[in-house]
Homo-oligomer: A and B are copies of this chain.
Amino acid sequence: MMKGLENIFKPKSVAVIGASTQKGTIGREILHNIIVNEFNGKVFPVNPKASVIHSIKCYSTILDVPDMVDMAIIAVPREIVPMVAEQCGQKGVKGLVVISAGFKEVGGKGIELEDQLVGIVRKYEMRMIGPNCFGIVNTHPEYSLNCTFGKTRALTGRVGFISQSGALGEAIMIHARELGLGFSMVASIGNKADVSANDVLEFLKDDPDTDIILLYLENFGNPRHFTKIAREISRSKPIVAVKSGRTRQGAAAASSHTGALAELDVGVDALFDQCGVIRVSSIEELFDVGAALSNQPMPKGNKVAIVSNAGGPALLATDALVSLGMELPQYTGETKAKLKKALTGQGEVHNPLDLVAGAGGEAFKKALSVVKNDKNFDSIFTICVPPVTINQMDVANSILAGIEGCKKTVLTCFMGAGEGSAAVEYLKSRNVPVYIFPEAVAKTLSLIDGYRRWLERPRGQFKTFRVDKKQVQERIDRALKKGEKAVVSQDALDILEAYGIPTTKCAVAYAEKEAVTAAEKIGYPVVLKINTPQILHKTEFGGVVVDLRTAKEVRDSFQGLRKKIPAIKKGEKFSVVVQEMVTGGIETVIGMTTDPSFGPLIMFGLGGIYVEILKDVTFRINPLTDNNVDEMMKSLKSYPLLTGFRGSEPVEMDTLKESLLRLSQLVSDFDQISEIDINPFIACSAKGKSKAVDARFILRES
């Protein structure tokens, strides 16, 4: 898959097609950047209207270049992009970076041009980044390649950055530079017409110079492939991602209950959670986390020590940390004693440590050299606010001296240090990330802690159960043949039963007498429901009668329902479902909906108000591992109801969990099912009692 990307990121010779002498044009800036960054290879400007650009001989077309060219950057008007790409192919160029815009992103003619371009790329077996992108960067000294049109030079570092937005490119380069964040590689992938984010991810996975990957995404091309790669990479290199477009409209209207509950974003959350991707909610957080991960070791836990020269900001930091689930334990006795000795005149010592007013550098050094050895902490968070009596550079030096040899994560906050403070720059240059506000440090620590917890989770197992696939296929085929989009009632329960998901006993009855016979076979009490796919919300409609205890009650209810439902579909005979009544237990809802980009999502939640009003539901991308199922349950606010609340018996969990895994298998096996509601699935405390009471399958129109 990733074959050929080395020609783009690690070329020995580069052509800039559309190079220009005119300042402020993209073609000029790209060439300029390549040269001033001292690209460690040959560069050939191409432009029919010039013979020399930026002191370098210029060629009319790439075909005129005498040497081999590994990669060509194209920044010409969109209409001639296909032509120059064709020439690149003829020339034997292996990689293209197409900066030019006006393709699929503008629609119309742009789509046509992009298709044409992709055809040429495929024909010559080239690889292409873009079109409509900001360019690429490889800071490794063996290449030192910066072919972007930005004004900001990337610092060298160990962060790989993939951005889907070209427009954000320059803003991001500036921000990273201000933070002192260095890149190994940068790829602005634009329209992803050939090379996708997944391709670059795979490339960075094996890149020995990349330790951390930052992602800015607007959509997923192939989420299943992303899942596979990201899950693998996350084990060794953290991936931090912003995914925008969270609230965009556009998902097709859902016809199931589960579908209606799936907000547009649950798929992304589920996906990132399942692959260990650190999801951040802004570019700012992306780089805050990137700066911490690329400069400091991963913390081993969530326990933070704060060392501050002022109480106010330490309080703000404590608030932020605790509200994000981090802990601020107290010192060991040894630390306490040592601190008291080291900090004369300090009075009380406790975490957060508020150094006496006017504490200068020396106090930071003394405090940190004790705290860094306290086993109660995993990370250290220092805060300095600048009273006039303190020399910030002293503080910076003293922090560095204090944490020497420290194995814990150290992040610092210099509130109001002022722009371009020398102390701040100095700390950054010594791999101690500096933040302006304590809340940013707290957020960063908590996001990284989430990743640590993911790494520590046991790896889940996929399970395969013996099931009756044929029986399910028959029910689906029968429905499709009848032109029905839904499978409901007995047929739906039969499908579950075929996959080993327990269901209530039931039978369809077309007449009073049949209903009574069925009830007697099932055993009283029973429930009667109207049996038609046309009525979705049977309860609201009054189409369900519960707790029938005698033959007479069954007969009366049958007649009652018949009267209520005058408008049966033509040719359909009135019928009811007679069903075993389950008493006790807790109503749960199990479902599936299909996300346009992520495919099937499995849902679980508690029934009734928990789903309807509190929306206390959870989604995971299919297929599920046993651990996914565990996490789904535990992530619900209403989870304690399942484990026994106020002396009630806990639910027998094995059947419930296995039912979710069996549903996952069913969903994997049948692509024709687009949505499922099992509502309710009643979870009981006694083994063998939990059962699906009602189910509904929506089939894909194909």
Contacts and interface: CB of A to CB of B under 8 A. Distances in A.
Contacts of A388: 24, 26, 29, 149-151, 170
B106 A347 contact: yes
Contacts of A437: 282-284
Interface in A293-342: 309-313, 315-316, 318-320, 322-323
Contact of A416 (B26, B172, B637): B172
A101 interface: yes
Interface residues of A, number: 81
Contacts of A416: 170-175
A315 B609 CA distance: 33
A247 B101 CA distance: 51
A149 B387 contact: yes
A342 to B, nearest CB: 18
Contact of A638 (B172, B313, B318, B614): B614
A164 interface: yes
Copies in the complex: 2
A220 B481 CA distance: 72
Nearest to A641: B609
A345 to B, nearest CB: 9
Interface stretch (A238-246, A466-474, A487-495): A238-246
Contacts of A248: 315, 318
Interface in A251-282: 281-282
B170 A316 contact: no
Contacts of A313: 165, 167-168, 171
> Does more than half of chain A's interface fall in helix, strand or loop, or is it mixed?
loop
A519 B520 CA distance: 41
A357 interface: yes
Interface string A331-368: 00000000000000001000000001110000000000
A420 interface: yes
Given A246-B323, A319-B245, A319-B246, A171 B638 contact: no
Contacts of A609: 638, 641, 645
A167 B387 contact: yes
Interface of A: 24-26, 29, 101, 105-107, 132, 149-151, 164-168, 170-175, 178, 216, 218, 242, 244-248, 281-284, 309-313, 315-316, 318-320, 322-323, 347, 356-358, 385-389, 415-420, 436-439, 539-540, 608-609, 612-614, 637-638, 640-641, 645-647
Task: Give the 6 A-B residue pairs with the shortest CB-CB distance, closest first.
Answer: A171-B416, A167-B310, A165-B312, A247-B322, A174-B416, A171-B415
Given A283-B437, A609-B645, 18 more contacts: A24-B388, A25-B389, A101-B357, A107-B347, A149-B388, A165-B311, A167-B312, A167-B357, A167-B385, A171-B415, A174-B416, A218-B312, A218-B315, A244-B319, A245-B315, A282-B437, A419-B420, A614-B614
